[in-house]
């Protein structure tokens, strides 16, 4: 069982992780169909439901595969996918760079560099689609962070003005998808006056159902065996382990913090699974079996050695902190308050900005943040 783990823990899946991403086929196809057919699609869901993973390892991966296939068979990709989620700095500048990079992947090394005008965002999109010879499919992920960093911006050249103009332009060969946390959807009202069709086409991403979650446990191990097992001893998963993990990471079963989450209903709602908790539990279980040179993911390991899903989730941060030297533990404790707002919204900072806020040298933050992110 040496080699890369087939589970991601709390880190979102990206395009490179697509071979190990399972359980979201139906959602992927629905999102792709809407993105390609509509000028604007709104994708929303609860925090931790897995929007970024579905987009990266599902939607973007499959669209890029299709674009490369089109290029090989027809001489043109027909479209390019652009993913943007870095909202801290000027979104128009960052998005223009992302467009340039995405379109450039379809040009040979000898081809002239893509030149985009700086007059307006609409002109940038026009020129990019012209040079590409196809459409742009632009995914604006983690859109709630736009309001965190640019909630008051307005005027010429700002995203608040340029984005609605692009949406409303009738001739642009561009489609947009906004991915946003459910608790931030109301903030989109800021664009309602400028984008009349803002809420015309929306999709809600639910938590994994039980069957999809089962695939997310079993299928990555099958893929791992295909890629890494060459000695005839594949890794196996006990069926009893699968069922127990699914029971223990149902929504509402693991609650962090002092207060619980109430569930109102008649008891007949379908069972759903917390994908981040599932991944964290399976990653931790995999690591434990690796230590024991086991080729079997066992229920006994989960229950007797790791204390079950709830214990794994609740002690994850403590375990990561204990792996740090005392001086690095102090650094980590000092920066936590700068990573989330009082109302629970996460904040994405660059290391220089975080160092400035916390009053700490940048060199101290990098290793600590890298360690805590895994």
Q: Name 252's bridge partners.
A: none
From CA 327, how far away is CA 311, in angstroms rounded? 26
Question: How would you classify the pairing of strands 208-209 and 272-273?
Answer: antiparallel
115-122: list long-range contacts, CB under 8 Å, 24+ apart.
Answer: 120/157, 120/162, 120/165, 121/92, 121/95, 121/96, 121/162, 121/163, 121/165, 121/166, 122/162, 122/165, 122/166, 122/169, 122/172
How far is Cα of residue 293 from the mean position of the Cα atoms in its chain? 32
How far is Cα of residue 250 from the mean position of the Cα atoms in its chain? 20
Whether the Cβ atoms of residue 249 and residue 278 lie closer than 8 Å to each other: yes
**pLDDT(214) > 50:** yes
**pLDDT(239) > 80:** yes
From CA 344, how far away is CA 278, in angstroms rounded? 22
From CA 311, how far away is CA 277, in angstroms rounded? 11
Write the CA distances from 276 to 7, 52, 249, integer angstroms.
Answer: 10, 12, 9
Residue 12 carries which DSSP code? P
Which pLDDT does position 233 carry in this prediction? 84
pLDDT tens digits, residue range 88-121? Answer: 999 999 999 999 999 989 876 545 556 665 668 9
Query: What architecture is domain 15-204?
Result: 3-Layer(aba) Sandwich (3.40)
The average pLDDT across 176-190 equals 96
Write the CA distances from 197 to 189, 193, 200, 350, integer angstroms.
Answer: 12, 10, 5, 34
The average pLDDT across 273-301 equals 94
Kindly report the backbone phi and psi dihedral angles of residue 45, in degrees, each rounded to the nearest multiple of 5, phi listed first. 180, 170
The average pLDDT across 19-34 equals 97
Give the pTM: 0.84
Residue 207 carries which DSSP code? P
Which pLDDT does position 368 carry in this prediction? 56
- The residues, ordered by sequence, that sit 6+ positions from 249 with a Cβ below 8 Å of its Cβ are 213, 273, 274, 277, 278, 281, 309
| HEC letters along 325-371 | CHHHHHHHHHHHHHCECCCCCECCCCHHHHHHHHCCCHHHHHHHHHH
Whether the Cβ atoms of residue 295 and residue 233 lie closer than 8 Å to each other: yes
pLDDT tens digits, residue range 53-76? Answer: 999 999 999 999 999 999 999 999
E-strand stretches of 183-283: 202-204, 208-209, 236-237, 272-273
Whether the Cβ atoms of residue 244 and residue 304 lie closer than 8 Å to each other: no
Kindly report the backbone phi and psi dihedral angles of residue 9, in degrees, each rounded to the nearest multiple of 5, phi listed first. 65, -135
């Amino acid at each position: 069982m040496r080699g890369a783990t087939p589970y991601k823990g709390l880190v979102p899946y990206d395009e490179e992780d697509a071979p190990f991403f399972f359980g979201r086929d139906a959602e992927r196809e629905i999102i792709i169909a809407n993105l390609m057919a509509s000028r604007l699609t709104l994708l929303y869901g609860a925090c931790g439901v897995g929007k970024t993973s579905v987009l990266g390892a599902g939607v973007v991966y499959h669209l890029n595969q299709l674009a490369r296939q089109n290029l090989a068979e027809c001489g043109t990709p027909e479209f390019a996918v652009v993913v943007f989620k870095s909202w801290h700095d000027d979104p128009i500048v960052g998005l223009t760079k992302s467009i340039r990079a995405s379109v450039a992947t379809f040009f040979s090394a000898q081809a002239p560099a893509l030149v985009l005008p700086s007059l307006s965002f609409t002109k940038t999109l026009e020129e990019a689609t012209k040079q590409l010879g196809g459409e742009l499919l632009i995914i604006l992920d983690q859109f709630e962070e736009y309001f965190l960093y640019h909630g008051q911006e307005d005027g010429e050249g700002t995203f608040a003005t340029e984005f609605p103009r692009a949406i409303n332009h009738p001739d642009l060969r561009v489609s947009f998808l906004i991915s946003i946390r459910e608790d931030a959807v109301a903030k989109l009202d800021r664009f309602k006056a400028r984008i009349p069709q803002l809420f015309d086409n929306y999709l809600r991403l639910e938590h994994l159902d039980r069957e999809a979650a089962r695939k997310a446990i079993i299928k990555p191990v099958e893929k791992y065996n295909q890629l890494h097992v060459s000695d005839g001893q594949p890794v196996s998963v006990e069926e009893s382990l699968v069922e127990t993990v699914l029971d223990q990471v149902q929504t509402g079963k693991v609650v962090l913090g002092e207060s619980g989450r109430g569930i109102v209903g008649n008891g007949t709602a379908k069972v759903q699974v917390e994908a981040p908790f599932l991944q964290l539990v399976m990653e931790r279980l995999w690591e434990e079996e690796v230590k024991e040179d086991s080729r079997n993911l066992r229920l006994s390991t989960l229950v007797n050695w790791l204390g079950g899903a709830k214990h794994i989730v609740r002690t994850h941060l403590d375990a990561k902190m204990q792996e740090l030297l005392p001086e690095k533990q102090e650094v980590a404790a000092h920066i936590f308050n700068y990573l989330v707002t009082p109302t629970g919204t996460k904040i994405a900072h660059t290391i220089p900005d975080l160092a400035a806020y916390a009053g700490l040298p940048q060199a101290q933050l990098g290793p600590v943040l890298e360690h805590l992110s895994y």
